[in-house]
Amino acid sequence: MSESVHTVTTLPTGRRAGCPFDPPAELLDAHRHGPISGYTHPGGKPGWLITGYDMMRSVLADPRFSSRKDLMNVVDFELPPAPPGEFLLMDDPEHSRYRKPLVGRFTVRRMRMLTERIEQITADRLDAMEAAGPPTDLVTAFAKPIPTIVICEILGVPYEDRASFQEQIDAFMGGEVSDEELVAAYTATQEYLAQLVAAKRAHPTDDILSELTDSDLTDEELRGVSLILLAAGFDTTANMLSLGTFALLQHPEQLAALRADPALTDGAVEELLRYLSVAKTFHRTALEDVELGGRTIKAGTTVVLSYNTANRDPERFTDPHALDIRRRATGHLAFGHGIHQCLGQQLARVEMRVAFRALIDRFPTLRLAVPAAEVALRPETADIFGVKSLPVAWDAK
Amino acid sequence: MSTPHLSVDRERCIGAGMCAMTAPDVFDQDPDDGLVILLRPEPAAAHGAAAQMAVGLCPAGAITLHEPEAGSS
């Protein structure tokens, strides 16, 4: 087929001022040419960009596409294999060796059993906000502490270590520090987790990390698993809570509907996940030649998957750029698809259902404390999209 | 078999919980290993739509819906 291929030369992942909820215009433009575009990776290697919902779903479910870090063909040097335990960047059977012992601990039922505890953690944060009075930064007062406390409790990070630990994670997830600081934060986190794993092995407590010391995973592997769970466990949900609140405040009719009808909460969470898609891009590498939409993805070529664009695919979602909490958004790709689909998704859902509900119930007059255009967005270098801070106010009683 | 029925493949299942969330009357997760448990292989009509949706949502393709063959009784 000699059909010309639309090619994207840069891959912007930041969002435009004034459009903090929408995928970058260049990606939406690429999608108008079709679900797949030509793309050159920053290191000069040829690749592809997938923006279409159906195609992305089939790639994610296709074992001919690998997640392995050492196969990623994006830079002009060979990447090392994923560190022990970091199973996001592995294929089966290695991937499932790590995932299997975790699955039973993140089931729908087990996560729902945490509802009451999460309600209590949320209420504590709202009490503190109310006591301090408006205005406040919702990111530091609410969006970050809730998922941090929850994942630290689940994993078994002692209370007194949480503040310093969150700072380290912020440093390597926030995309705002120098390379040296990034390496320092990563190293400090690894050292902390190594100590934590050793402590749990010596004196098990009632938490997942202690339970995992009974599995066949080594200390080094457990450290990697903990890092994945912590990093995935709070940066994602924290950004969904703050950006989601921003989105609701900018769509007052949606917020009013949600406030009036608690039965809309679960659907609103799914729609916010779809609409905001805070996890930006993932990579897969073809293990053999694969035909996709009339193109041949050559063996060894890496494709970039833009989740936020796929979740706005008009062929899958009617009026995709509208935030509509009543739509059936289930099936969105915000948690991915295939064997790597988010392990913590049921936890994230419970956290968001509880936290959004409690926040809007507690503060009926919640509003931005600055003009929307002045809300600072996270830099393009952050893996997870969101706001740096979200100044909010309300009418104090 | 004259009615649609479901089967699950626990080897493929990754325990994401999409089925238990979408069609809780039809699917559950094993409390130990988190993998799928099929509660109702032949879901009542009232649960049919949810079950069908769970088939489509399963990230690992671990659920199959077997439609009755045309003409069989």
Give A28-68 as a 3 state SS string: HHHHHCCCEEEEECCCCCEEEEECCHHHHHHHHCCCCEECC
Domain coordinates of chain A in residue numbers?
7-393
Task: Check A61 against B59: CB less than 8 A apart.
Answer: yes
Which pLDDT does position A102 carry in this prediction? 95
What is the CB neighbour count within 10 angstroms for residue A190? 17
Half-sphere exposure for A349 (CA within 13 Å, toward CB): 27
Q: Which CATH class is domain A7-393?
A: mainly alpha
User: Which of A87, A91, A103 should we substitute to test contact with B (largest number of B Cβ atoms within 10 Å)?
Assistant: A103
Q: How many Cβ pairs within 8 Å bridge chains A and B?
A: 65
Dihedral sign for Cα A300, A12, A275, A106, please: positive
Write out the DSSP string of A218-278: -HHHHHHHHHHHHHHHHHHHHHHHHHHHHHHHT-HHHHHHHHH-GGGHHHHHHHHHHHH--
How far, in Å, CA of A42 to CA of A74, rounded? 7
Please tell me which residue of chain A has the smallest CA distance to B32.
Answer: A104
Task: Check B34 against A342: CB less than 8 A apart.
Answer: no
Task: Check A330 against B28: CB less than 8 A apart.
Answer: no
Mean pLDDT by 10-residue block, N- to C-terminus, for chain A (397 residues)? Answer: 68 75 91 94 91 98 97 92 94 95 95 96 98 97 95 90 82 78 86 94 94 93 92 91 98 98 98 96 97 95 96 97 97 97 97 98 98 91 90 93
Choose between B70 and A68: higher pLDDT: A68
Which pLDDT does position A380 carry in this prediction? 81
Which pLDDT does position B72 carry in this prediction? 47
Which structural domains are found in chain B, ordered by start?
5-66 (3.30.70.20)
Which pLDDT does position A3 carry in this prediction? 53
Residues 5-64 of B with CB under 8 A from A: 14-18, 20-22, 24, 28-35, 53, 56-57, 59-61
Which pLDDT does position A312 carry in this prediction? 97
Q: Are A309 and A47 in contact (CB under 8 A)?
A: no
- Chain A nearest CA to B60, separation (Å): 5
Q: A8 in helix, strand or coil?
A: strand
Which pLDDT does position A4 carry in this prediction? 67
* Preceding peptide of A314 cis, ω within 30°: no
**pLDDT tens-digit profile of B1-47?**
567 899 999 999 999 999 999 999 999 999 999 999 999 999 988 89
Task: Check B17 against A346: CB less than 8 A apart.
Answer: yes
Instruction: Please report residues of B whose CB lies closer than 8 A to that of A337.
Output: 59
Please tell me which residue of chain A has the smallest CA distance to B10.
Answer: A100
